[in-house]
Structure 1
Amino acid sequence: MLAYYLHDLSPVIVEFSERFKIHWYGFAYVMGFYFCYLVMVHLAKKGLGSLKPDQVGDFITYAALFGVVLGGRLGYMLLYNFDGFIENPLSLFRLWDGGMASHGGIAGLALYSLWYAKRHKISWTGIGDNLVVGSPLGILFGRLANFINGELYGRQTDVSWAMKFPTELQEKHLRHIAPSDWGITAPGDVFPKHSNEIVALVKTVPDGMQKLQEVLTPRHPSQLYEGALEGLLLFLILYSVRVKFKNLPNGVLTGLFFILYAIFRISVENLRQPDVGIDPIMGLTRGQFYSTFMIAIGLAFLIFGFKWGQRPGLQNAGEK
């Protein structure tokens, strides 16, 4: 039998006190915004897009807050936890409990960009075409944080690079196993939330690790697949197109982002374990179902761009 990697990473980078901790998830968001900022400044200096280099900082700051964070959280509550949101609307602001939806974050960014463009009387799609180049880096960091947290892992597999995630103990099919069944004392007789805490707990009894290995199933590290496709590969494609075809009409690159993201997301979802308690729609996972609409949105952007989109060269020349 293969000795599969047992995930035991901590979600915390630095812990100053019980209440004050720096989490990888929060750090990933900061890094995503920062690298997106760098990309947008770089493109603006090349004369691409509607924003000037000195405008990018303010735009990214508020786009991060009102677009990604608020949109991502609201999207998660409406698309994946609607009953919980109706029962307790204030749970929307409990960001520390986790729960963000990439589809919601993308929608939030689009709406904030539209508002910003209207207010400053500049091209919405001109902003978007630079924004979508840097955004996949944010997705990459987010998926890496998902992996570190041991969440959103893949389906069962026997590939040599499969991994075991102790957080699987929270899945419905393993919830009948309690720490006391293994001779372990734990608060509430339930396993902790994170991999490293579970591993540390089971190590307190002689045969705890063996029992843990026996009940866990090898799974695809689908978070890494998504990071590679939706993040790194998508960034490389969009950046290459942006700098090579500088005279593409505004909106074309945005359309390409929506279509490629949806294709990558739908593909990887076939290897990702469906979220607990969330039923499929028309035989598709929620992620796949919502991504199909992104393809239609992307096609609309492409049609608009090629037919009516302003060309960057004209924009830089001062034409409206």
Structure 2
Amino acid sequence: MLVHPNFDPVAIHLGPLTVRWYGLMYLFGFLAGSYAGRWRINTQPWLKWSVEEVDQLLTYVVFGVIVGGRLGYVLFYKPEYYFSHPLEIVALWKGGMSFHGGFLGVTVASSLFARRSQRRWLDITDFVAPLVTFGLGFGRLGNFINGELPGRPTSLPWGMIFPNTDLIARHPSQLYEALLEGLVLGTFLFLASRKQRPTGVLSAYFLMGYGSFRFLVEFTREPDNFLGLLDLGLSMGQWLSLPMIIAGLILWRSSLKSAMIIK
């Protein structure tokens, strides 16, 4: 039986200002993604990206993650509350971000960047897909440090008590997600990216990989108490992940078919 260390969510105190671990995890994710993007353009010459373009794209991605993640949480999880308290929509410091909203935000941001740079949209998403996994991994570590989003009760040896929640041993589902969505998916995508792939394939791998991992981990993650389980006993996260898996399968087949026609 393990007990959550109950970390101080504030990493640095600067007088009246504080720097929280959760914010630092986002920063680490963006910095790692930026470094990895530079590594890709230096080792994969067929990409034909410049350092300036990588920096510009990541700026778009940052805004997409923040704006999309917040609006996704507002619309997918607590629409009635935030429509009644609209001023709190911008209160990011109180928490409340949605991956699926952030994903849609990055999708829109990538589309805008594609128009500006005159690149194909799927070329943009193929480039971004491996880089996003750093943010996923670090973000889930931030959830773990905060002791938020704990798992469902378990009797497994690595079950963990989260004192801020209750005294029941639970799955450390944040760590499951950090491992699968960050390390495992990231490793797979970077290995896949070492070879030139048909346009859209890396994006399809990301959609199928993230959607599948998130769907599975949700079986160990405690549903939001204000939502509970929805139709068919599935959580909101699972219902939002299913379209990603389906879209990934469709994109993968169409990308391979297009590549065969071109050849």
Q: TM-score, normalised by structure 1?
A: 0.77
How far has the Cα of 1:279 moved from its partner? Answer: 3.2
1:23-59 CA-partner distances (Å, limit 9, x unpaired): 0110011111111111112112222446323311121
Matches within 5 A, 1:1-320: 2=1, 4-17=2-15, 19-45=16-42, 46-49=44-47, 51-65=49-63, 67-169=64-166, 216-243=167-194, 245-246=195-196, 248-282=197-231, 283-308=233-258
How far has the Cα of 1:309 moved from its partner? Answer: 6.0
Larger Rg: 1
Conserved 8 A contact 1:157-1:219: yes
Q: Secondary structure at the match of 1:154?
A: coil
- Would the alpha carbon gap of residues 119 and 308 (structure 1) be closer, same or farther in structure 2, given more than 3 Å must change? farther
Percent sequence identity over aligned pairs: 37
- Would the alpha carbon gap of residues 48 and 286 (structure 1) be closer, same or farther in structure 2, given more than 3 Å must change? farther
Conserved 8 A contact 1:158-1:218: yes
2: distance between equivalents of 1:94 and 1:271?
A: 29
Conserved 8 A contact 1:51-1:127: no
User: Which runs of 5 or more residues in structure 1 are unaligned?
Assistant: 170-215, 315-320
How far has the Cα of 1:296 moved from its partner? Answer: 1.6
How far has the Cα of 1:299 moved from its partner? Answer: 1.9
Conserved 8 A contact 1:251-1:309: no
1:131-176 CA-partner distances (Å, limit 9, x unpaired): 110111110000000000000011111222111112215xxxxxxx
2: distance between equivalents of 1:93 and 1:221?
A: 29
Conserved 8 A contact 1:48-1:130: no
1: distance between equivalents of 2:259 and 2:108?
A: 19
Q: Which residue of 2 aligns with 1:208?
A: none
**Number of residues of Structure 1 aligned to a counterpart in Structure 2:** 260
Moved over 6 A (4+): none
2: distance between equivalents of 1:238 and 1:272?
A: 25
Residue 191 of structure 2 aligns with an amino acid whose one-letter code is S
1: distance between equivalents of 2:46 and 2:247?
A: 23
2: distance between equivalents of 1:50 and 1:157?
A: 49
Conserved 8 A contact 1:7-1:164: no
- Would the alpha carbon gap of residues 50 and 79 (structure 1) be closer, same or farther in structure 2, given more than 3 Å must change? farther
Structure 1 window deviating more from structure 2 (250-259 vs 298-307): it is 298-307
2: distance between equivalents of 1:298 and 1:167?
A: 37
Residue 300 of structure 1 aligns with an amino acid whose one-letter code is I
Conserved 8 A contact 1:154-1:220: yes
2: distance between equivalents of 1:112 and 1:168?
A: 36
1:247-279 CA-partner distances (Å, limit 9, x unpaired): x11111101100010110011111111111113
